[in-house]
A and B are shown apart, each in its own frame.
Chain A
Amino acid sequence: GAVVSQHPSWVICKSGTSVKIECRSLDFQATTMFWYRQFPKQSLMLMATSNEGSKATYEQGVEKDKFLINHASLTLSTLTVTSAHPEDSSFYICSARSLDFPGPNEQFFGPGTRLTVL
């Protein structure tokens, strides 16, 4: 149980276009979803936290108008990278938590999405 999927697993796009990444909890209801970004050989950096039905909370330095997050249902959150530029190329990974699993170790990660902006 507690499986989180991401789609697509990798995407290549042209500079200036927008890219949407989906994060789904397959067998549980995710009250909270997190979006992380990882540059090569660096740590996972939290970008934003989203709770179902409310606006996402962005970390300092993350542009909310560039990285649009929607958590419309208890099983789906989307991250849209708007007007993507080459510096947005990175590995984006989501995770999900549920009220049914309140412990701090109960955060389940998706497999990640590799974004390359040409």
Chain B
Amino acid sequence: DQQVKQNSPSLSVQEGRISILNCDYTNSMFDYFLWYKKYPAEGPTFLISISSIKDKNEDGRFTVFLNKSAKHLSLHIVPSQPGDSAVYFCAAVDNFNKFYFGSGTKLNVKP
């Protein structure tokens, strides 16, 4: 049973607009969440993270929001750029330091 879910397999956004990628989880014991970006033929690279004690973390154009009561996190990219086109994975970490990944969302930013 998947404990981390990304229900949108793909998302298409116009350059300059906001991209919002969503992720839901079921295990309330997860205490750390991460977003990874993956280009074809490359491994996932770390993008941004958030601890369960926070509800927002911002790094430049990227902001991650965490809603613990809804067990939901989202990644906002604004403004979106064509170079942001990639597959985005969310991941959650339990207190044994084990990672659980979502299935990914393919973002396409159109020029």
Interface residues of A (CB under 8 A from B): 4, 6, 9, 34, 36, 41-46, 93, 95, 104-112
Size of interface on B: residues with Cβ below 8 Å to A = 23
The answer to whether B97 touches A104 (Cβ under 8 A) is yes
Question: Across chains A and B, which 9 residue pairs bring their CB atoms closest together, nearest first?
Answer: A109-B43, A44-B101, A43-B101, A43-B103, A105-B49, A109-B44, A111-B43, A110-B43, A104-B93
Given contacts A41-B103, A43-B2, A111-B41, contact A105 B89 (CB under 8 A): no
The answer to whether B43 touches A95 (Cβ under 8 A) is yes
The answer to whether B99 touches A41 (Cβ under 8 A) is no
- CB neighbours of A104 from chain B (8 A): 32, 34, 49, 93, 97
B30-44 with Cβ < 8 A to chain A: 32, 34, 36, 41-44
Bound together, the chains give a CA A47 to CA B30 distance in angstroms of 19
- CB neighbours of A9 from chain B (8 A): 41
Interface residues of B (CB under 8 A from A): 2, 4, 9, 32, 34, 36, 41-46, 49, 89, 93, 97-104
Please tell me which one of the listed residues A45, A93, A105 contacts residue B34 in the complex, with CB atoms under 8 A apart: A105
- CB neighbours of B45 from chain A (8 A): 109
Given contacts A104-B49, A104-B93, contact A4 B43 (CB under 8 A): yes
- CB neighbours of A107 from chain B (8 A): 46, 99
By beta carbon, the residue of chain A nearest B45 is: A109
Q: How far is the CB of B107 from chain A (nearest CB, A)?
A: 15
Bound together, the chains give a CA A104 to CA B99 distance in angstroms of 9
Question: Could you list 28 A-B pairs, sorted by A, with CB under 8 Å?
Answer: A4-B43, A6-B43, A9-B41, A34-B99, A36-B101, A41-B9, A43-B2, A43-B89, A43-B101, A43-B102, A43-B103, A43-B104, A44-B44, A44-B99, A46-B99, A93-B43, A104-B32, A104-B34, A104-B49, A104-B97, A105-B34, A105-B46, A106-B46, A107-B99, A108-B43, A109-B43, A110-B43, A111-B42
By beta carbon, the residue of chain B nearest A106 is: B46
Bound together, the chains give a CA A41 to CA B105 distance in angstroms of 9
- CB neighbours of B49 from chain A (8 A): 104-105
- CB neighbours of A45 from chain B (8 A): 101
